[in-house]
Chains A and B, each alone.
Chain A
């Protein structure tokens, strides 16, 4: 039977929803599911992880060196913890993408990135070429499977679990070559882009940073998170962490409203799994209309305020 270790993602003492999504993928594999929480003080995060439904045990690793998620510091500890496990999963967020290949290299396993579906314990589907092809990949059964779980493809496992929390100590020599300096967060009261059920995004068509206020205003009316195309980010209208696409965030909200976004391949990759896509664009030939469920051709500066008023 499979024995699956999930590496918890957390920030500021709180568990990231990506962890519960990894649990859903682990449930699809089947077997014992354990979560490892590595932190300076893992107590509160481990308690949160223990409440996720389907989790058998939480391993809490306290170490001052784990205060910040430095991949080369975490990986040797995880490689030790992974002994006896058939699978090691992490989320395909920047945290997991940075860390999991290091774990894989230490275990001598090739990594399966961005698992979309689980076919069997060692067979998975994942996207390549910006999501324009889906491949079926089989990992060998004679070594641990290391994989990142594509967060947009999985719903978070629910609460209601009551797993035991075990303090784990790990003997590993940790490097001191990397120093964390700071994290500048784009502070926002709006719903988190990656977990929001509704997202409103603006593109180059919005025209300026000032004009983005109409996007924010509509989003607030809808209770939506706010995203942006690469063009809008490159033009300096909004910060990088709002970028949706192959090289930004991949999201799957119930409702996605693309405003002034033409729909380049790399952007479409980020929204392919959205429930309903609404496109508002003045160019009737824009590729975004090929994927939109509801399209409206027209001037966004007239349509968006009108839409906000109608809500």
Chain B
């Protein structure tokens, strides 16, 4: 079985992003970019399934500008067999990304698609669900544990009410939550090896994806600032501060 991992490049999660003063976007020039943390977890899970003999091949795919090749090389260094780079200029919204990923699925016929539950830049949490729908296959979102046997996946999902277990027929789309696994570190020799692994480039226009982005973003603003608080020196002061706010 092949596993396709959707592997997005985002602003590193440790970066405190700044909104441009004119409201036209956030500052991304010179800012550190990394794999979306949830996608790293997806790739790790795919690699573990290959190590268990469940999967034979792991493919990382991204939709990103031409300079995203080092990002895919990182995925290859982590252990993916090969990479597909759909080269696009502007940002792509989740529905468009799902339509593009479906084209890759039609070509590659994976038995499983793994991806993060959300990207930490747009925080949309949509692409996996949309892909499963367009593909007509099951989805298991927010996965905290994945077991595969007899062409089915048993997935424990982290939902608001607790932990839900679903049993889905493969092929399927599984989106990963934080606690699924701890992604491995990349070793230096693997970085060298990754340079010779296959990396296929596909211009976005060649996929024949119908429709473009629908949503227009007109303005970016920083969140409203909370007013500076007060420091109290002990518990009695804390209690009286709460009382004066009418909270006790």
Contact = CB atoms under 8 A, between A and B. Distances in A.
A293 to B, nearest CB: 4
19 contacts: A71-B141, A94-B142, A94-B157, A95-B160, A98-B159, A101-B133, A105-B133, A106-B133, A110-B213, A113-B125, A129-B121, A136-B219, A137-B216, A137-B217, A137-B218, A138-B218, A175-B136, A240-B179, A292-B229
A3 B218 CA distance: 25
Interface string A89-131: 0000111011111101110111111100000000100011111
Interface stretch (B46-54, B64-72, B106-114, B163-171): B163-171
Contacts of A109: 95, 214
Mostly helix, strand, loop or mixed at chain A's interface? mixed
Interface of B: 11, 13, 16-17, 19, 26, 93-96, 98, 117-118, 120-130, 132-134, 136-142, 144, 154, 157-169, 172, 177-179, 211, 213-223, 226-227, 229-239, 241-242, 245, 247-248
What is the size category of the interface that chain A forms with chain B?
A: 35 or more
A170 to B, nearest CB: 17
A212 B157 CA distance: 25
A303 interface: yes
Given A101-B133, A128-B122, A178-B168, A294 B218 contact: no
Given A240-B163, A294-B229, 6 more contacts: A111-B126, A130-B123, A138-B217, A183-B161, A183-B162, A276-B242
Nearest to B96: A110
Contacts of B127: 101
Contacts of A178: 138-140, 166-169
Given A133-B26, A137-B217, A278 B242 contact: yes
B174 to A, nearest CB: 12
Contacts of B117: 247
Q: Is the interface of B mostly helix, strand, loop or mixed?
A: mixed
A181 B223 contact: no
Nearest to A114: B123
A136 B24 CA distance: 11
A307 B98 CA distance: 51
B16 A132 contact: yes
A137 B11 CA distance: 21
Contact of A295 (B121, B123, B229): B229
